[in-house]
Structure 1
Amino acid sequence: MRFADRTEAGRVLADHLTHLREDKPIVLGLPRGGVPVAAEVAARLGAEVDVVLVRKVGAPGHPELAVGAVGEGGVTVRSDRVLAELHLTWADVADTAANERAEILRRAATLRGGEPPPDLAGRTVILVDDGVATGATAAAAVRVVRGMGAARVVVAAPVAPADVVASLRLIADEVVCPLTPRRFVAVGYWYEDFAQVPDADVREILGR
């Protein structure tokens, strides 16, 4: 099974989240690729949609390989297993982490147009991405929204490795992932169209 694009992936994912409709959740997409998926979920559930700002911290020379993540509120999540496999310490990626924190501030201003983050106190939050690889970014997002007062946190993605789904279940209240291939490869492998999502598209979704 492969998804045609993020819109189709969002519709498939939404089919697995209808049991949460009565919770009146807020759906938060991880920019940028998770936002179109989140929009489809929110439309199906009649829910609000916004973003949660978390940035992957990539390995030196391999920026797509996450060794951790940083998020709003000063949250840091380290992938100790990946760091150890690469013979790295967090100090080796400190400059990268600082740059990603600066990018979070920039994106907050760009995507929300100066508006504050949504009030999550006491709410059910569905965190949506277009796929999960190492789980570091999703784990950071869970910690961010819990710090913002979320009462229940659900991680939802169309595709992820089974072992990563299992690890996320240890920190989230629920993890929903319809596709957990034995041979994962990469998130983009499971999409026919995995084009970059421009900031303008994210702003348009948030402005609906």
Structure 2
Amino acid sequence: MRRPLTPPSVFTDRSDAGRTLAELLRERDWVEPLVLGLARGGMAVAAEVAVELNAPLDVAVARKIGAPGYPEFGIGAVTAHGPAIYDEHSMHLLGLTPTDLHDVCAQERTEAQRRVERYQRGREPERIEGRDVLLIDDGLATGVTATAALRALRAEGPRRLVFASPVCAMPAVARVRTEADEVLCAAQPAEFRAVGQWYADFAQVTDDEVIDLLDKGMPR
């Protein structure tokens, strides 16, 4: 299912995008669904999906590993625990090895651990094993961060692992399909430069906003 897109703005904001994505996801039958927002931008989208599916909301954390000198260009990603993953093609083009990125990887893992601790605040995370788990982000550009998060979730034994996003770059969909049981996108535009081009309001989501969404969307 694809929604016609006209840049520079399509979705009003992440909540609008979440409602659009929820329309797609509610057509499916889910078994004990759990909605996870990929922090931080994915949380506002995921909150709308959780409401529509009447499912609990929790958070997933993965951190992008940027190229030296170009931190916004993600060539890898890491979660709070587990090994880092890298885009082998980008690494080859830049002449880099994982050893070259050891320090930045360690920094991003520490930040991921900090965020997990702050978001959970001593609460046990929702059970993954045996459930239909929907990992939600606000957009899929390269797929490297989603890949790291999906691999960490897969290790916890979900019944079904789905990645869903309002807008996805076509090459990234192919990458993520190797990690998820299914990839669902409300739109896959032919021309994709950045996630933000598809939002009128793409303001950064803060830690406090993530915590507020969790407080509203999960049992305690």
Q: TM-score, normalised by structure 1?
A: 0.96
Residue 128 of structure 2 is aligned to residue 123 of structure 1: no
Structure 1: unaligned runs, 5 residues or longer: none
1:21 positional shift: 4.6
Corresponding residue to 1:198 among 190, 196, 206: 206
Deviation by residue 1:80-130 (Cα, 9 ceiling, x = unmatched)? 111112222111111111001101111112111122322111111000000
Residue 80 of structure 2 contacts residue 110 of structure 2 at CA under 8 Å; is this kept in 1?
no
1:75 positional shift: 3.5
Output the aligned Cα RMSD: 1.2
Relative distance call for 1:21 and 1:41 in structure 2 (3 A) is farther
Residue 34 of structure 2 is aligned to residue 26 of structure 1: yes
The within-5 A match list for 1:8-157 is: 8-157=16-165
Please identify which structure carries the higher helix content: 1
Q: Which amino acid aligns with 1:110?
A: R
1:132 positional shift: 1.1
1:20 positional shift: 3.6
How many residues matched? 208
Corresponding residue to 2:174 among 148, 166, 169: 166
* In structure 2, distance between residues paired with 1:22 and 1:126: 10
Residue 21 of structure 1 contacts residue 46 of structure 1 at CA under 8 Å; is this kept in 2?
no
Q: Which amino acid aligns with 2:202?
A: F
1:179 positional shift: 1.4
Q: Which amino acid aligns with 1:86?
A: L
Structure 2: unaligned runs, 5 residues or longer: none
1:24 positional shift: 2.5
Moved over 6 A (4+): none
* In structure 1, distance between residues paired with 2:150 and 2:30: 21
Residue 75 of structure 1 contacts residue 143 of structure 1 at CA under 8 Å; is this kept in 2?
no
Residue 77 of structure 1 contacts residue 136 of structure 1 at CA under 8 Å; is this kept in 2?
yes
Residue 59 of structure 1 contacts residue 67 of structure 1 at CA under 8 Å; is this kept in 2?
yes
**Mean Cα deviation higher: 20-29 or 179-188:** 20-29
1:193 positional shift: 0.3
Higher relative contact order (CA 8 A, sep 6+): 2
Q: TM-score, normalised by structure 2?
A: 0.91
Q: Secondary structure at the match of 1:138?
A: helix
Relative distance call for 1:126 and 1:83 in structure 2 (3 A) is same
* In structure 1, distance between residues paired with 2:30 and 2:101: 42
1:140 positional shift: 0.8
Residue 81 of structure 2 contacts residue 109 of structure 2 at CA under 8 Å; is this kept in 1?
no
* In structure 2, distance between residues paired with 1:115 and 1:61: 37
